[in-house]
Structures are given as C-alpha cells and as structure tokens.
C-alpha cells in the first residue's frame, strides 16, 4: 500500500488536462509512495468538456464525482466547499493539490486550509492585476492559502515575492512558511508528451478540410468577452471582416458559455453576416488531441484562453490575445503575442503585422517538460518528513 494519500481536486477542462501530467507521473514513478484520490467537482460536465479528457488522456476515474455543475460564483463555490470538506474529513489526506484559478481551485484550497491540510497550488503566482476577473480573486486567495506554490514562469515567482512571499523559505513548510518553487509548466509536459500521439490519432485537419491550408484557430470564453455583448460583437465582427478579406478559414471551437451567448447577437445584423460567412467554422469543443493538432498546423492563434496562449508559444504560432492584459506577459514581451483586446482595429492591425512578421524569438520560458516530476519529488520529500514527525 502506498505510504501517502493525496487528494487532487479538479473540475474544469484545463484542470483535467493539467492533472493528467501529475497522475501519469504518479503512475509511472511514485505508485509506491503516493495514492492519489481524485475529486471531480463537476464544474464542467458536458461530455465534450469533461469525459473526453478522462478517456483520451487516460486520467484515472474520479473517486468522487460531486456533480456541482453551473451556477453563480457563490453558489458554485459554496456547494463545492461543503462537499469537498466532507470528503477531506473522511479521507484525511496528507496533502491536497489544486490547479490554476477556477472556482474549483478556490473551493478546494479553502476547504483544505481550514482543516489544516497542506495545499499545493500548481500554477501559482500568476496575476492579471485585474480583480474584476473572477480568476484573479481565486488566484490571489489560493496562493495565500497554500503551503506549496509551484510557479510555471519566472514572472509568477516575481509576483509572489512582490506580495511578500519568501523565495528562500526553508523547511518545515507550513501555510505560514510556504515553499516557493519555479518548476516550469505542466501543460508544456503534456504538449511534449502527447503531440506525436495526437498527430497519429487525430483526423481533425481532414475533417475540417484544412489540411495543408492556411487557417486561424480561435477560442473565446472569458466572462467579460461572452457576457458583454458589445465585446463579443466586436471580436466576431473582426473575425468576419478579416476572414472575408484574406479568404482564410477561421476554426472556432465554441466553449458552451460562448455558444449560449451568441444568440444574444441576433438583434444585430452581426449574426446574419456570420451565418453567411463561409470562412467562419463554428464547431463544438474539441478533444485535447484535436486542439494540439490544430495548434501545431495553424497560421495564427486568436484567443482569450490562458492555456491556449501558452500552447501558441509551445508551437511557435503568433498569438492575438483577445484581452487587455495577460498573466503570461512574457509572451507579449518576447513579441510572440499582442494584446489585441476586443478592439477590431487592433485585431486587424496585429493580424496584418503577424502575417508579415511572424515572431522569431522563442527563448525557453516554460521549463523542460519535466514539471510534474519536479513537483512530485518535492511533495514526496515533504510527506516523508511529516510521517517521521
Ligand atoms: C471556467 C473558469 C475559467 C476557465 C474556464 C475553462 C471560473 C470562475 N472560471 O470558466 O477560469 O478559464 O472554466 O474553460 O471558475 N457550461 C455548460 N457545460 C459545461 C460547462 C459550462 O453548458 O460543461 C456553461 C454553463 O452555462 C455555465 C457556463 O458555461 O454557466 C460557464 O461555466 P463555468 O464553469 O461557470 O465558467 P467557465 O466560463 O467555463
Ligand atoms: N482545449 C481543448 N478543446 C477546446 C478548447 C481548448 O482541449 O475546444 C484545451 C486547450 O488546448 C488547452 C486547454 O483546453 O489545453 C485550455 O482550456 P480553456 O481555454 O478552457 O481554459 P483556460 O486555460 O483559459 O483556463
């Protein structure tokens, strides 16, 4: 029997993907030391937002499916908090792992820290410095509830130091003396690990008839882009006019939030234009393998997603960020990405700029693809130490 029990708390699409790197590394290298108990909050629940990732990435079946689903921020976080607390009391893990900045992350970290269970926050230290973003509140709060803060980038580490975290903290680590590690990005682990397999298995290029063609990949799902009709309209109008002018296909896998927001545009003439535009391909959410392949072969990426911004860098594709700020600011500083916001002029200008001048500078920003191994090594050291006490 494994010596240590850890609980992984996940629930949203990018967390399934991130967690797969840790589960894989436990299975391959730490199965004697760690038993992983997986809790799925059910924040994302459509098969194409959830099940598809468990199957494709061979993530173990969750031990607990909380089925919380959608709702207001307070409802969603509150119900998760209650249900996660019950599980933590029952399971008594040595440590809880949370990922990123969603309501699931917040509920998991808060439930654990109040029970004095150490929290490891993977993807710590990121900041947009915009607290109107629900994710920014979640990130800052989770970092301050964590005993282990694993930052994917140097910027993440710097942000934490500026908030008063001690980069030289030494054991014994506690929530009052947390450990900071700059370990690289586990999404980079996954991109390296899965790309070849994805290229073999996915037939998405053929299915969308873009094999060998120039196309743009676009995702939109941020609350301020979907729930603000004017912003969504501006972005879609920009895609409409650029695609007609350049005669490029735009592949747009729609997050359910965006699919639900689109009918709000029916009052304007925008929807008519979009429906008649043969270059705009609005499709269902894709599997991770299909996304990797589309990212690897596209001409450019336009997105408001955190994960997709990073993947644009892994695959060296220019990126128009459909936001006014980014947590991945080094992408902008290296000239790889532009903050085009929801501004049609800026989107157009940046698109034309990148068509003429694709970025050439790609320093290593996201580690060596072995972040999961690093993280587990540190966590096992800590858990071994706490057994000896
Ligand atoms: C959440 C995260 C966001 C992350 C994104 C990843 C928070 C505050 N936000 O945003 O940081 O970037 O996940 O994709 O946690 N819906 C469905 N089916 C589903 C899931 C959602 O129809 O399987 C619809 C529902 O109408 C729901 C809406 O999408 O109300 C938003 O879902 P929610 O999980 O609240 O936030 P996301 O926008 O997905
Ligand atoms: N992704 C996916 N299918 C899609 C859209 C995104 O598999 O249709 C992947 C994407 O490749 C990345 C992750 O989901 O690995 C990003 O998740 P998302 O954009 O939902 O959230 P964010 O990263 O912004 O929190």
pLDDT, one tens digit per residue, over 166-183 is: 999 999 999 999 999 999
Count of residues in the chain: 389
Helix (H) or strand (E) holding 320: strand 319-321
- Pairing between β-strand 95-99 and β-strand 4-10 as defined by DSSP bridges: parallel
What pLDDT score does 267 carry? 63
pLDDT digits (tens, 9 = 90+) for 4-62: 999 999 999 999 999 999 999 999 999 999 999 999 999 999 999 999 999 999 999 99
Q: How close is the Cα of 381 to the center of ligand 1, in Å?
A: 35
Atom of ligand 2 nearest to the CA of 253: 8
- Ligand 2 neighbourhood includes 291 CB (under 6 angstroms): yes
Please report the pLDDT score of residue 389 as a whole number: 67
Q: What pLDDT is stored for residue 58 in this prediction?
A: 94
- 44 CA distance to ligand 1 middle (Å): 6
CB 152 within 8 A of CB 123: yes
Helices marked H in the chain — which ranges?
13-29, 51-56, 73-91, 103-114, 134-143, 154-162, 186-201, 204-207, 223-226, 229-246, 256-261, 270-276, 288-297, 306-314, 329-333, 344-356, 371-388
Strands 148-151, 119-122: parallel, antiparallel or unpaired by DSSP? parallel
Report residue 387's pLDDT band, with 50, 70 and 90 as the boundaries: confident
User: At which residue do the structure tokens 């799902």 appear?
Assistant: 221
Residue 271 burial (CB count, 10 A): 16
Of the candidates 259, 256, 214, the one whose C-alpha atom is nearest the C-alpha of residue 236 is 259
Q: What is the helix (H) or strand (E) element at residue 64, kind and residue range?
A: strand 64-65
Active site residues: 221
pLDDT at 268: 66
152 touches ligand 2 (CB under 6 Å): no
Ligand nearest to the CA of 224: 1
Instruction: Please write the tens of the pLDDT for every residue from 74-99.
Output: 999 999 999 999 999 999 999 999 99
Task: Give 266's pLDDT tier (boundaries 50, 70, 90).
Answer: low
Pocket around ligand 1: residues whose beta carbon is below 6 Å from it? 12-14, 43-46, 49, 70, 101-103, 134-135, 221, 255-257, 260
pLDDT value of residue 347? 98
Using the atom order of ligand 2, give the atom closest to the CA of residue 292: 11
**pLDDT bracket for residue 388 (50, 70, 90):** confident
What is the 8-class DSSP label of residue 57? T
Does residue 270 register a pLDDT over 80? no
- Tell me how far the alpha carbon of residue 186 lies from the centroid of ligand 2, in angstroms: 14
Task: Enumerate residues 6+ apart whose C-beta is below 8 A from 282.
Answer: 252, 254, 262, 274
């Amino acid at each position: 029997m494994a010596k240590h029990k850890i609980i992984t708390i996940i629930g949203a699409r990018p967390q399934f993907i991130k967690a797969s790197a840790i589960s894989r590394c436990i299975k391959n290298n730490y199965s004697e030391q760690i038993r992983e108990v997986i809790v799925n909050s059910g924040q994302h629940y459509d098969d194409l937002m959830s099940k598809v990732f468990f199957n494709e990435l061979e993530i173990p079946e969750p031990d607990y499916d909380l089925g919380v689903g959608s709702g207001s921020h307070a409802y969603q976080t509150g119900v998760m908090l209650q249900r996660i607390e019950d599980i933590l009391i029952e399971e008594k893990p040595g440590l809880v792992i949370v990922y990123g900045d969603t309501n699931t992350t917040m509920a998991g970290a808060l439930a654990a820290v109040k029970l004095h269970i150490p929290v490891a926050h993977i993807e710590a230290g990121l900041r947009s410095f915009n607290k109107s973003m629900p994710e920014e509140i979640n990130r800052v709060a989770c970092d301050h509830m964590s005993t282990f803060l694993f930052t994917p980038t140097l910027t993440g580490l710097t942000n934490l130091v500026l908030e008063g975290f001690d980069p030289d903290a030494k054991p014994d680590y506690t929530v009052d003396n947390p450990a900071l590690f700059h370990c690289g990005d586990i999404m980079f682990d996954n991109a390296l690990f899965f790309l070849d397999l994805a290229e073999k298995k996915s037939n998405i290029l053929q299915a969308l008839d873009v094999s060998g063609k120039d196309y743009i990949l676009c995702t939109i799902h941020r609350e301020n882009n979907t729930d603000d009709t004017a912003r969504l309209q501006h972005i879609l109008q920009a895609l409409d006019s650029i695609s007609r002018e350049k005669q490029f296909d735009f592949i747009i896998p729609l997050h359910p939030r965006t699919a639900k927001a689109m009918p709000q545009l029916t009052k304007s003439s925008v929807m008519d234009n979009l429906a008649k535009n043969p270059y705009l391909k609005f499709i269902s959410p894709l599997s991770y393998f299909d996304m990797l392949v589309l990212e690897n072969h596209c001409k450019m990426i336009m997105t408001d997603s955190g994960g997709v911004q990073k993947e644009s860098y892994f695959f060296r594709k220019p990126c128009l960020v459909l936001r006014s700020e980014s947590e991945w600011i080094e992408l902008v500083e290296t000239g790889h990405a532009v903050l085009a916001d929801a501004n049609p002029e800026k989107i157009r200008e940046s698109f034309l700029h990148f068509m003429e001048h694709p970025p050439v500078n790609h320093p290593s920003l996201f580690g060596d693809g072995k972040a999961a191994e690093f993280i587990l090594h540190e966590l096992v050291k800590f858990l071994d130490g706490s057994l000896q006490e």
